[in-house]
Amino acid sequence: MSFVRTAVRSALARRSAFFRSVKHLSTDAAQPQQHAAGAGGAKFPGAQQASFVTAPKLALPETMEPLSIYRVMNSEGVIEDESQDPKLDQATVRKMFRDMVLLNTMDKILYESQRQGRISFYMTNFGEEASHIGSAAALSIEDWVYGQYREAGVLVWRGFTISDFINQCYGNAEDQGKGRQMPVHYGSRKLNFVTISSPLGTQIPQAAGAAYAFKLQPNNQRCVVTYFGEGAASEGDTHAAFNFAATLDCPVIFFCRNNGFAISTPSAEQYRGDGIAGRASGYGMAALRFDGTDVFATYNATKLAREYVLRENKPIVLEAMAYRIGHHSTSDDSTAYRPAEELEVWNTVEHPITKLKHYMIRRGWFNEEEENEFVKSVRKQVLSQINQSERIPKPNWREMFQDVYQDMPNHLKEQMREMEEHVAKHQEHYPLKDYKQ
């Protein structure tokens, strides 16, 4: 019984000590919140900034003000607020326009190449050219890019050539990826563009980790940008990336291309909240939503975001609002789930190339004859490169054993030896003439 009495006295002593500590917190640390709360109280670790109220009130989504859409240029190419003019010179604007036109022209031809059975797969970028070019122009070439599969314009801006694109789509021996990826899964170590992978969303937490590594380097001047669609934002990888980046203060730009459709699922069925940028505050991140068909709004937004993440060592969510004009891929038929009338508006009046053309005409920077000749030149280059790429052999089949280990281990050496013997014995069953020897 003496043991029980001792235990009770000990418990009462601990309880008294606890309430003394609460009283101390109430009179000191929590004092600034007394007026708002009506009474002092301890700060909960999970909600340090929240005050107390005496009546329950539901936080309803319909009472939340949606984030606005930042725009610089309207559909007629008119800058609505001169203070937002990025003041880019003629050469830069012309490069923006021509890079968008090059991408658009190349997309049309390679899409038809897939339809002819010349390549196995393709994804176009129609309607989203401005979000690629505008953001790429605002980044440093030293910044790392983790793409999804619809950011080819970023590579165009950085110097990925027509031959680089087409050799990758054909998976031949000149492909920088050594023919190991399906078409449009580009990558370039030289251009700091990490190779695309098919599983949706995997690049997003990888980007957060890379940005954290950059932050740890002395005098870091590099950030990371990762692109993804609003459909990928439904993946668990996105939540993990947002939370890691916010809690670890990573200089990463989460660039969401909200083009209205996750394959055939419209955004109205993909989420119920205020888009993707609207989620940022829940993670403690900054956010900015803008018109992704406006190359100047995209440029200004990305430039501002880059300055912010490097200055504050914190992440930001950018949401480029656009419309996917093309089918999701060559495996999709979008006429089954959206009306042609809707598509027509975005393919004409609201098209990003059309808007920039209007702007250039107003500035006296557009020459119709020169630009038509440029399109013809691009078409000729693309068609010529297709003709060449088709003739280049596939990489040596032994490449599949390379690049996993710095020094090939014995078990892979044995497998390669067995494969060599097998191919030599049954070479009539393999198209060896199509492969580099």
What are the DSSP calls for 282-328, one per residue? HHT-EEEEEETT-HHHHHHHHHHHHHHHHHH---EEEEEE----S-S
Q: DSSP alpha helices (H): ranges in 28-185?
A: 34-37, 90-115, 129-138, 152-158, 162-170
198 is a catalytic site residue: yes
Q: Which of 330, 128, 159 is nearest to 229 (CA)?
A: 128
Catalytic residue among 132, 328, 351, 389: 328
Catalytic residue among 21, 120, 140, 198: 198
Q: 42: how many CB neighbours lie within 10 A of its CB?
A: 13
Q: Which amino acid is at 82?
A: E
Residues 197 and 205: beta-carbon distance below 8 Å:
no
C-beta pairs of 421-424 under 8 Å, 24+ apart in sequence: 423/397
Cα separation, 200 vs 230, in Å, equals 11
Cα separation, 105 vs 116, in Å, equals 17
Catalytic residue among 76, 112, 312, 342: 112
All residues at 6 or more sequence positions from 315 whose CB lies less than 8 Å from its CB, including other chains: 208, 211, 242, 245, 246, 249, 250, 251, 252, 253, 254, 285, 286, 309
Q: Is 249 left (phi over 0), alpha (psi -120 to 50) or beta?
A: left
Q: Which pair of structure tokens corresponds to residue 342? A: 């809707």
Residues 67 and 287: beta-carbon distance below 8 Å:
yes
Cα separation, 219 vs 194, in Å, equals 23
Q: Which pair of structure tokens corresponds to residue 282? A: 């829940």
Catalytic residue among 75, 329, 350, 371: 329
Would you call 408 helix, strand, or coil by DSSP?
coil
Tell me which residues are annotated as active site. 112, 198, 328-329
